[in-house]
Amino acid sequence: MERSQYNYENILSWIFVIGSLFMGYIVYSNLDKGFIFNDEAFYLFYYKDHDSLPTIDSTNFYRIFKFLFTENIYHFRIITYALLNISTFFVYLFAGKYYKLKVNAFLIGFLGITVNFVSWGVCNIVMHQYISNTILINLALAFIFIYLIYNKSLSLIISGFCLGMLLFNGIPHTIVIIPIAGFLFFNFWKKDRKIIFYIIAGGIMGIIFYFTFIEDFSKFISQFEWIKYYKQFHIKQHPKRFFIFWILKVAGFIFLPSLLLIGYLYKFSKNKIQHTNHILIVLGVIFVISYLFHPSIYINYVLLALLIYRYFLEDICIEKKTMLIVLSLIPFGLSFGSGAYFEVRGTLYNLYYYLALSIIILSVYRVRIYAALVVLFIYQYLVFQNLLKEKGWKDFIFTEQTEKVKINGYDLYLDKGRTKDIEDLRPYLQNQPNVIYSSNHLIGYLYILNASPPIYYYFALKDYVRFIIKKVGKTPDDFIYIESNDYPFLSREIVPLQFVDHPEKYKVVKTGRFTLYLPSNYQKNKNTCVE
């Protein structure tokens, strides 16, 4: 095809380059500000201490990406976004080349970076399970595309290696491998089995690499003894009804309506392309309205399902068709078991959604549909900087982060309220090893003050905390307890002076917004100076 044939599509796509650079400037210029006092501190603690923690969670991405960890939070955030953007750029780039889209593949790569910024915002979480899974899947897909384009067997081995590592990056999320495996077996088991064998060989190499250079196999096996203990507490944190509701909502709001629409068109429509396009116009209008006013990921995926059906009506090879199904299913695998419903966690994986959406639009429709998609992203560019002035995820506003604080010897800017909290707590918590906290929202103070609990937990499950305390050879009376006005201890969980054996020996101290319960053996750490 002549390059000049698609001048309009390419000109429009330069907006993604300009827009992603604009969003990138906003993000990277603010990565030294703010601190997510629950999730981010939780992950940082694990990177720092995972070798000594008595938990099965240590067999996770904390080990895989340990070599990237730095106590300079600002640098770690840069590393996170850089790896996420680079891996996404590659998967969009090679997908564009494989599908021979009407747009230069280099420009399509910047669409991927744009989607990352739209999905994650100015989210200051350091590399964690969801980002690391995304990076591994991006690399695995990119190398599959490289093989499909250039027929280089080494790329299959590298792809399999990434999928092998993924097995140790969060147990529930490994189901994301299923649609990828299904694609390979469906398309190549009869035609060219060596492709599957190369992927499997790469996966085995990834597993061997993990147990050779990352974690000792005996330690990995020994951690399974924790499952019989941990599962009784885990069901309180993520009860079975959560998974049931997760499946019912996804099935009821996405799969069922999609199957009904596609089934109706397949069985009763005499002009399938025309009728499908008519329904897509209606869904497209709903998609745009929801995109601008009240985003609904359920509507989005019904639209995508019907678009994939429309793509299947074209005379295109089956490999390209089935790969679109893989892209549409990956978000369900990556978000499963994450502790949040699909409408919350699924949006983090919009990069696969928009990759599939762009492939279909650029393959089937004229430039005006693609222009509408570009306009939606222009809207995102225009409103993106508002994130700095709005109350963000985990309770801070970027424009208020003006007070310099030293964390592990490195500068980070917080708001005045947080810095006052730190100084209120410093005389009592600096370098203290035994602290029980009322809410995960307080763990950031522990991280900054180099204080630590017996285990890092999201929910103060009383039985679980008691079990861990015993496991590390201590008693409840050996610990400091901290709560805040905003996050007091829950009466159904831990009430400090009822949780300990000798409440009469505890001293209650109120400082600022906090209440501390100090045990009889409490001693101030002499090294409480400000770094």
Q: Which two tokens mark 447?
A: 């991280």
- Do residue 293 and residue 409 come from a single domain? no
> Is 500 part of a structural domain of the chain?
yes
- Do residue 407 and residue 325 come from a single domain? no
- Do residue 276 and residue 309 come from a single domain? yes
Residue 530 pLDDT greater than 50, yes or no? no
Average pLDDT over residues 519-530: 71
- 4-13, 56-65, 230-239, 288-297: least confidently modelled range: 230-239
- Do residue 226 and residue 314 come from a single domain? yes
pLDDT band at 55, cuts 50/70/90?
low
pLDDT band at 529, cuts 50/70/90?
very low
Length, in residues, of the chain = 531
pLDDT band at 312, cuts 50/70/90?
very high
Name the amino acid, one letter, at 272.
K
Choose among 1, 16, 86: nearest CA to 358.
16
pLDDT for residue 327: 98
Residue 425 pLDDT greater than 50, yes or no? yes
- Do residue 357 and residue 496 come from a single domain? no
- 136-145, 172-181, 442-451: least confidently modelled range: 172-181
Burial 259-271 (b: 16+ CB within 10 A, else e): eebbeebeeeeee
Choose among 169, 89, 79, 58: nearest CA to 126.
79
Q: Output the CA torsion sign for 80, 119, 173, 51.
A: positive
Q: Please, are residues 112 and 132 in contact by the beta-carbon 8 Å criterion?
A: no
What's the whole-number average pLDDT of the chain? 91
pLDDT band at 124, cuts 50/70/90?
confident
| 410 φ/ψ angles, rounded to the nearest 5 degrees | -115, 150
> Is 524 part of a structural domain of the chain?
no
> Is 394 part of a structural domain of the chain?
no
Average pLDDT over residues 466-484: 93
pLDDT for residue 229: 74
pLDDT for residue 338: 65
- Do residue 421 and residue 466 come from a single domain? yes
CA distance 455 to 436: 9
- Do residue 376 and residue 437 come from a single domain? no
CA distance 113 to 66: 24
Average pLDDT over residues 195-221: 93
pTM for the model stands at 0.94
CA distance 133 to 140: 11
